[in-house]
Structure 1
Amino acid sequence: MTPPDAPDSPSGSRWNNLDRPPLNVAGLRRALVREGGLWKSLDVVDATGSTNSDLAGRADSAPEGTVLVAEEQTQGRGRLDRRWSAPARSGLFFSVLLKPGDAVPVERWGWLPLLTGVAVATALSKAAGVDTALKWPNDLLLTVEGEERKAGGILAERVPDGVVVGVGLNVSLRADELPVPTAGSLALAGATTLDRDPLLRAVLRSVEEWYEDWRGAAGDPAGSRLQAAYAAGCSTLGRTVRAELPGGHVLTGEAVAVDGDGRLVIGTADGVQQPVGAGDIVHLRPAG
């Protein structure tokens, strides 16, 4: 792992692109790491394979509230181990370690990636002036040229005594830098700022607020307002979807709700309401 103050990365000098300056590590720590707060430590590395892998590897000894940020990820992973990458300092790539402990039953920990999605969407609305929609279970969507495009994703992985939640968000990517033409970024969505320092501060503060409310409600998604907030921001609901399941099975119907376990409820043509969990889905697409 490259030390936080290392001068170079695989992409060269940290100052090789003045449109994409490095994050201000000292400023982030001053703003976010405080006595009694959730965030206990924050490190920024110039480059790494995957912040989730790095943080999961030391989750045993790291305290809850450990934050690891990378200026560049060379082996970024999405759900089902899908790979993606982006130019150095073009986005926010970070992971956090959460350990709800006995305050929240383990069966409710599956809400953590959905909670993170709500927190990111809330933060971007305030800090960047963009509406962020949530595609169940883990995609962040921004409107670019009148259409919803994936601009980020969330990956949660269980570790002993906790969960590592990773976020990847395209910030300054231009059209010619997109991994696929249907992707998006804050820049392409007309965000009011592309300064990653205030954006990261806003996102982590929002995660802290939602997490503390959820944990204070013993993980109850209704009592913490999380379930209602997720449903309000979820663009999947109300649409006819095609869920591709393991073994080649396909489930088609209207996405009618997100239930108390965080599962997507699909109403089929024969009147059955079938809940499916994130682990049951290979692909979820609009039907037709």
Structure 2
Amino acid sequence: MTPTAGGPRSRWSDLDRPPLNAAALRRALVRPDGPWTRLDVVESTGSTNADLIAAAHSGEAPGRVLVAEEQTAGRGRLGRGWSAPPRSGLFFSVLLAPQPGATVPETRWGWLPLLAGVATASALSRIARVDTALKWPNDLLVDIAGEERKCGGILAERVGPPPDADGGFATPAVVLGIGLNVSLRADELPVPGAGSLALADAETTDRDPLLRAVLRSLGDWYDRWVAAGGDPAVSGLQEAYVAGCATLGRRVRAVLPGDTELRGEAVALDGDGRLVVRTDDGVSHPVSAADVVHLHGHGHGNGRLGGE
């Protein structure tokens, strides 16, 4: 159902895409002693990540969740945009500060986008009953007619106090953004390689329980990781990521900053979350930032985080 020509745009214009129930989400997720201390749903914004970065600079406390029914300037890695029709997906960011009251060195904060990938994939597998795999470093993949398609992405941005600020957010923090295509139809996909939960025959595309499941899973994994001092082995994060990673065991092309390129086999994930690529001359290269393309072959194991 679409709005009448020239008529006002309503949140209920598309009955297949009802608005999120902000009050119910707050009742289910916000707890004084939990990871999520505030949750807001806005009708439209440019970027939830940009909004939370600005809020952090203004003194916003960690634990805030900001959800947008529509993003008009959504951001992905490497400056790419992320766009989708209103209420067709989950577009949200969380503000985290792993350091206060804990012992998580900033050298381990690079694991946060990988942690978000594990948390999101495992939650989707449980509630939507759809196999979800991880493409290093930040993509969520689903199977559509035997083809790997990207249905989600993760963007982590470090936040520090503004250079000219006397107050504000004095402790370094991270804004973690997650975008997930839920009900996008084939004719709405932004690029041919994109996908959605609906196209992957998900058991549900109801965004309220999906968001609750993802945020609960993210909170559980985050608490476990912080309790382990950010250690990916002790927290079980490294093992879980490797088990669900479709990149490992594949031949890949890794485009590095500066447009240099590596081709070889993705053989491991090291203790810093870097992808280790072994080139044809037998040399192993740990890669911390790259645009990775799967060339052919199959990932490590089944490359899936299955449901329980």
TM-score by structure 1 length? 0.93
| Counterpart residue type for residue 148 of structure 2 | E
Q: Which runs of 5+ in 2 are unaligned?
A: 1-7, 161-171, 297-308
1:88-133 deviations in Å (ceiling 9; x for gaps): 0000000000100142011000100000000000100111001110
Once the two structures are overlaid, the 10-residue window that deviates more, 102-111 or 42-51, is 102-111
1:42-79 deviations in Å (ceiling 9; x for gaps): 00000000000001111131111100000000011100
1:129-187 deviations in Å (ceiling 9; x for gaps): 01110000010101011111000100000002110000000000000000012210000
1:264 Cα deviation from its structure 2 partner: 0.3
The one of 65, 68, 76 aligned to 1:67: 65
1:1-288 alignment, distance < 5 Å: 12-60=9-57, 61-101=59-99, 102-160=102-160, 161-278=172-289, 281=290, 283-287=291-295
SS of aligned partner of 1:202: helix
Q: Which runs of 5+ in 1 are unaligned?
A: 1-10
SS of aligned partner of 1:246: coil
Which of 1 and 2 has higher RCO (CA within 8 Å, sep 6+)? 2
| Counterpart residue type for residue 22 of structure 2 | V
What is the number of residues matched between the two proteins?
275
1:220-268 deviations in Å (ceiling 9; x for gaps): 0000000000001010000000111233321111001111101000011
Q: RMSD of the alignment, in Å? A: 1.1
SS of aligned partner of 1:12: coil
1:218 Cα deviation from its structure 2 partner: 0.1
| Counterpart residue type for residue 142 of structure 1 | V
| Counterpart residue type for residue 9 of structure 2 | G
- Give, in whole Å, the separation in 2 of the partners of 1:118 and 1:81: 23
- Give, in whole Å, the separation in 2 of the partners of 1:14 and 1:88: 9
- Give, in whole Å, the separation in 2 of the partners of 1:46 and 1:246: 35
| Counterpart residue type for residue 11 of structure 2 | R
- Give, in whole Å, the separation in 2 of the partners of 1:46 and 1:34: 24
- Give, in whole Å, the separation in 2 of the partners of 1:195 and 1:12: 21
Instruction: Spell out structure 1 runs of 4+ moving beyond 3 A.
Output: none
Please say if residues 252 and 287 of structure 1, whose CA atoms lie closer than 8 Å, have aligned partners that are also in contact. no
Please say if residues 38 and 208 of structure 1, whose CA atoms lie closer than 8 Å, have aligned partners that are also in contact. yes
Please say if residues 255 and 267 of structure 1, whose CA atoms lie closer than 8 Å, have aligned partners that are also in contact. yes
TM-score by structure 2 length? 0.87
1:184-234 deviations in Å (ceiling 9; x for gaps): 000000000010000000000000000000000000000000000000101
- Give, in whole Å, the separation in 2 of the partners of 1:72 and 1:22: 11
- Give, in whole Å, the separation in 1 of the partners of 2:266 and 2:86: 37
- Give, in whole Å, the separation in 1 of the partners of 2:96 and 2:44: 23
- Give, in whole Å, the separation in 2 of the partners of 1:210 and 1:52: 20
| Counterpart residue type for residue 64 of structure 2 | T
Please say if residues 175 and 181 of structure 1, whose CA atoms lie closer than 8 Å, have aligned partners that are also in contact. no
